[in-house]
């Protein structure tokens, strides 16, 4: 058989067969006087085996190892590894489908937030909050949707727990609404407006430390942060510039200047508090 004939018989392309020759998966057959390869039944059997192994999901390097082991031990090991990998993929697909089912149910009930899809923890938090009465509150929920992706999962869950506590406490929730209203009032104010520092102080009084940790470290859950260019570590944000990260600065830049000044003052008060660390 010529290469085109054996390719058609086994269900491969001539390009694939030439690639297998190049990788050493298939030895070069004898050649005809005119230089063309002459394939026989042995080559067809070998190609069929390569095809079966690749259809199982083995990479070509793994196929080569299997073909080199006449006793079949390598095949057993590779198949076991492949089975483990498929089991992990199956578990991942199952978890994703369960999450998709939750989102579909929320969507049918009109509970899926505009920022969605988000994690179950954040979706639950959105259901407890009422941001539409405040532009600043709505913006904060957009930021939380970002943190939902970027923050360390353990830190994220602590943060959502703290914010749920705020939302479920009637007195604190009322204070929070008042603080958001005051933030809204600063949208056109100058950064040195006399309302800035009092608002920063009042924000610090209700700010969950886990949210501050997200802003200082950009969502990484750690007690010490490397200082850029030196590799040294700082024990707390008190040793670093306010915010401590480009992530935090980007967060502030999303607010109007006076609003950002109030939030910066809040963070300065919190990071300067004795014993604070994220």
Q: What is the DSSP string of the chain?
A: --HHHHHHHHT--HHHHHHHHHHTSS----B-TTS-B---HHHHHHHHHHHHHHHTT--HHHHHHHHH-TTSHHHHHHHHHHHHHHHHHHHHHHHHHHHHHHHHHHHHTT---TT-S--HHHHHHHHH--GGG-HHHHHHHHHHHHHHHHS-HHHHHHHHHHHHHHHH-HHHHHHHHHHHHHHHHTTTS-TT-TTHHHHHHHHHHH--HHHHHHHHHTT---S-EEPTTT--EESSGGGS-SS-SHHHHHHHHTS-HHHHHHHHHHHHHHHTSTT---
Q: Which residues of the chain have pLDDT under 50?
A: 218-242, 275-278
Q: In the prediction, which pLDDT does 144 show?
A: 82
pLDDT at 8: 93
Q: Give the pLDDT confidence score for residue 242 in this predicted structure.
A: 41
What pLDDT, on a 0 to 100 scale, did the predictor assign at position 139?
86
pTM: 0.52
Q: What is residue 71's predicted lDDT score, i.e. its pLDDT?
A: 56
pLDDT score at 277: 46
Question: Looking at residue 249, what is its pLDDT?
Answer: 79
């Amino acid at each position: 058989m010529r290469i085109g004939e054996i390719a058609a018989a086994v269900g491969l392309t001539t390009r694939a067969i030439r690639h297998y020759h190049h990788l050493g998966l298939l030895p070069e057959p004898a050649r005809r006087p005119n230089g063309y390869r002459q394939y026989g039944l042995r080559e067809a059997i070998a190609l069929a085996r390569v095809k079966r192994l690749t259809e199982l999901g083995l990479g070509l390097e793994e196929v080569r190892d299997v073909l080199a082991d006449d006793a079949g031990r390598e095949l057993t090991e590779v198949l076991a590894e492949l089975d483990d990998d498929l089991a992990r993929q199956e578990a991942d697909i199952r978890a994703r489908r369960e999450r998709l089912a939750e989102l579909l149910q929320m969507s049918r009930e009109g509970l899926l937030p505009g920022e969605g899809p988000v994690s179950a923890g954040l979706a639950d938090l959105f259901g407890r909050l009422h941001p539409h009465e405040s532009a600043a509150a709505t913006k904060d929920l957009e930021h939380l949707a970002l943190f939902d992706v970027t923050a360390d999962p353990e830190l994220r869950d602590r943060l959502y727990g703290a914010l749920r506590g705020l939302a479920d406490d009637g007195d604190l929730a009322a204070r929070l609404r008042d603080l958001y209203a005051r933030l809204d009032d600063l949208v056109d104010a100058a950064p040195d407006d006399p309302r800035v520092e009092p608002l920063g102080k009042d924000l610090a009084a209700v700010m969950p430390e886990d949210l501050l940790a997200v802003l200082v470290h950009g969502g990484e859950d750690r007690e010490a942060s490397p200082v850029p260019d030196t590799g040294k570590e700082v024990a707390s944000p008190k040793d670093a510039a306010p915010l401590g990260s480009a992530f935090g600065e980007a967060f502030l830049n999303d607010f109007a200047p006076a609003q950002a000044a109030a939030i910066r003052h809040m963070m300065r008060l919190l990071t300067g508090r004795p014993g604070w660390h994220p």
